[in-house]
Each structure stands twice: as structure tokens, then as C-alpha cells.
Amino acid sequence: MPSPPVPDRPAPDLVHVDTGCLLVDKPAGRASVPGLGALREAHVLGDVQARFPEARVVHRLDMATSGLLLFARSAHWQRVYAGLFAARVIEKTYVARVQGRLGERPGDHGEVELPLAADWPNRPRQQVDALRGKPSLTRWEVLAHEGPAGPTRLALRPVTGRSHQLRVHLLAIGHPILGDTLYDPARAAASPRLMLHASRLAFVHPDDGRPFAAERPAPF
């Protein structure tokens, strides 16, 4: 049975809809799917199912992250899109503002390849773990420097899709994402939110074989 919408916040903006999928722009602070306590009622899945009862979860965004979220419109399409994500053929791009100055000029790029695992005593935190961690790869590109000492605006492209991957990888190289109350609480209050937004999804559409891309600019 579809989850009921929660009226205290507006529904996420509908970005795209076709026979197999729909994409919405998830606001920061809204859970992707049902959680515990109050989060059991307030989530984007419920918002979407109020209009599209057939919507099914394919992937998730952290509650503090905003941006493009894809839902399937049947069990068949859920399997198809889940397979595309698992095969890493859906290109995901995020925009982030990070602490400090990374790179020398716009266009500079690099990657972070560090294995990640759950930090069990401090769940839901994740951590770099050379012994138990799963291989994890993030590519970054400088979009702009907002001052001589930062912050730096980045495009982030996760090749793998580990939990909190972008947040932990940027923290590990000394450039935590601004506003991260979980991984950088001492400085998080200086930002109104986690400065991380899923700005682009691109893939070959499984229905017609044509290239498809959806974009939503970061609201920060």
C-alpha cells in the first residue's frame, strides 16, 4: 500500500516522468524512504506515491543531501534500473562546497580511492578501513574557488556507491563537505545545511536506447 504524504512540507519537484521511471528533486532534510520514529511518516517515497502509487525505490540519497532521486514505475522497471545502478552505468554527478582550497584552478581534477566500512560503534558513520573496507572510488573536479583559502566548489562523481562515500572521502583528504553535522560537527554550524546536491543523472535509457540526462542546479 502506498505511504501517505506528509502535509507539513511541499512535495518534491517532479523533474521527469516516462513509462519506466520518474525523477524528483529531493529537498535537503527529507528522508528518501521510511525510517524510524518521525521518519516513518515523513519521506519522499510517500510524497511521490501520493501522485504515482506504483512508484518503487531504486536508490537513495542521504537525508541531508538534496537533488535528483529516481523511482521506478513497476517491479519490472525497478529490476532494470537497479541493475543499471549495480553495473555502474548510470553516471552520477554531485555539486559540493568543501572546506579549504583543493586544487589550484577550475578544471583541476583528481580522485580518492580509499576502502570504506561501517564504523560500528558510531553508526551510522562510515570510515576508511584498509582491512575490512570495500573498494571505493570518487572522482572530483574543481568548479570554483570562493577565496584564496576556500571554500572550494567541486563536481563529485562517485564511481562506486558506498554509504556516505563522498562525505567520508572528502573528510579523509582534509576537505570535509561544509555543513556536515555527522563528520565535521565542530564547523557544521557555520553552514545552513550539508552543502551536497545530486545535480545530474545520465544514462542510456533502457526503454528506447537513447542517451538521457536530467540536471538540477545546486540551491547553494
**Closest of 27, 39, 130, 21 to residue 78, by C-alpha:** 21
- Which domains, ranges and CATH numbers included, belong to the chain? 1-87 (3.30.2350.10), 93-196 (3.30.2350.10)
For residue 5, the model assigns a pLDDT of 44
Cell numbers representing residue 22 in the block? 520518474
Report the DSSP beta bridge partners of residue 215: 200
pLDDT tens column, 3-30:
444 445 667 999 999 999 999 999 999 9
Q: Give the containing element (helix H, strand E) for 16.
A: strand 13-17
pTM for this structure?
Answer: 0.93
Q: Strand 196-204 relative to strand 66-72: parallel, antiparallel, unpaired?
A: parallel
Cell numbers representing residue 218 in the block? 545546486
Arithmetic mean of pLDDT, 36-64: 89
Report the DSSP beta bridge partners of residue 118: 126
Instruction: Give Rg (Cα) of the chain.
Output: 17
Arithmetic mean of pLDDT, 86-114: 98
To the query of whether residue 180 is one of the catalytic residues in this protein, the response is: no
Q: Please, which pLDDT band fits residue 42 given cuts at 50, 70 and 90?
A: confident
Give dist(CA 62, CA 31) in Å, integer: 7
Q: Give φ, ψ of 169 to 5 degrees.
A: -65, -45
Give the CA angle between residues 57, 23, 62 to the nearest 5°. Answer: 60
Name the active-site residue from 47, 62, 180, 184.
62
- Report the sign of the C-alpha dihedral through residues 192, 195, 199, 201, in that order: negative
